[in-house]
Chain A
């Protein structure tokens, strides 16, 4: 009986330490990946079944509440703008001079044929705010040691019920991410690379998103310029900015 009690106590302590360590890892990841605000210039390479195309955009975001994206090229997309405020999303089309609000099932649709949905683009919350983490092991990815974290959702309004995250054990940046449905089905896989030090933080400048329910090579997202904690004028995050 005494032995069983000691074993149970030890297991609880080990599990508690594991959860504590996992939480600390995730908090460090959040520190690297999140910021008060940021400005990205990026190229999104979308590989279709017939051809590939590159879409250039500039995104301003503030915390996880609001963001503004302007598409710069190609000509077909130029001038298209997207504004996110809390859980609302508006798209401005220069060809029709219309602002359309996207809601409901449309949020699960692909953005411009990519492997990213509007929902993926909108959910920019810190991982520690929406998931509990446990350490599942270690693995080497591209010559770098990683912690494998299993994340389980602690809120209901989350696109993926659970995730598995491979976190660089030295730089605390995710190098691979798998997102699962409640049923356990793998829905998306992201590989993150080209990790650079930007304004004192490690940040992956290239991400490849793969919708596992679709055929294809996935969508490559390359950040050409990343700036954190900038002075972004408040009017950027208004509907008036969409038509400017």
Chain B
């Protein structure tokens, strides 16, 4: 990539692509660490730790009990083994479940009181926690012209939320956007009603563990008829060593409302693997719409497969109301191991679920990701577009379920999953489950696996691009369907990530 700087930009080469490739000069660029004094709970997990986390968050008794029940359940559960991922056994007692910067002991009342070191961390990540015109998550965004788009950010640092921007302004519109710990204290009626109603505490091994030990996360409530005046975003940063991050996100879109939510994440480079097990629950009522976009860029481990984040995530949206809509868009480039299936329960009649995904694995990364579309209501629709790209020694699996229940009359699904292999040491796999239980439902599934098209590469090379540039361009074209579904800020970052993740995979 460095060679690029010495090259003239050739005629006919998409300037944006070259810029994108140039931008990402080095490899994983979020691998630095913030030196900050931390406070840890003792290592391991047991009922006392669960109580301690609950107490640190100042939670009411019902919440503590909810967590304890989940923990007792978790102790009896077994780790799932069905995914096509292999990693050394995780010792769940050999890590910290709670880590917070000392300076966060007293929650700052406003952003001005937040430890400057923390603010600097987010500044460096390109997420300035200031209420100004910003483009979230985009490297070099400061230089980009502000178009008047604002994004409210909830910044989560290890186990705690550091701060949430634009809260006042959102409040004026009736939107509640805060950390989940704050929501438990301030809006218990909403939390009680909806928490665990989409992903029950008994759902699966990692979701149950999360239910017991989640430390923070984001909470969003959009009241009836309100179109959220700005995009909401959570930025997750793991900083402490040997610490798992367990965040919980709960989004409720009341009747006729709309919200677009962005999620980003990074972690420092370390030789040992770290655990991240999040749960995201989305409740969507009549005529409401939620867009949830993720750029997952956790530390993927080094070229030899050392270190990296184990990303075991449960994300689910429940389209409860008629004509409700959800759209998941994800760009998965980070993590050593990914285990993630953002799902849609299409309960309301004419509700709609969409899933757009790009999963890129390089070196020794492994990703087993996909979606579930559960069609329960009549005339429900879903669309799945998944692009998996595998390079180096990586393994990339699409795993999905499309289920048409007997009452889902007239339901439709279209699924397209394509895999691209770069190199002969990697793998790309497709494991779809299709269950059709009524004949008025129409299901179409297509999947292809191929290598980077030689003709396209040759064309790019003949226009003077070097091989890596050419691959990045072809891959960007391959991912186009998904990139187009991303909010503008993320699309820019995603394009860069496509280039960065494949670095070194050619030749």
Does A pair with B? no
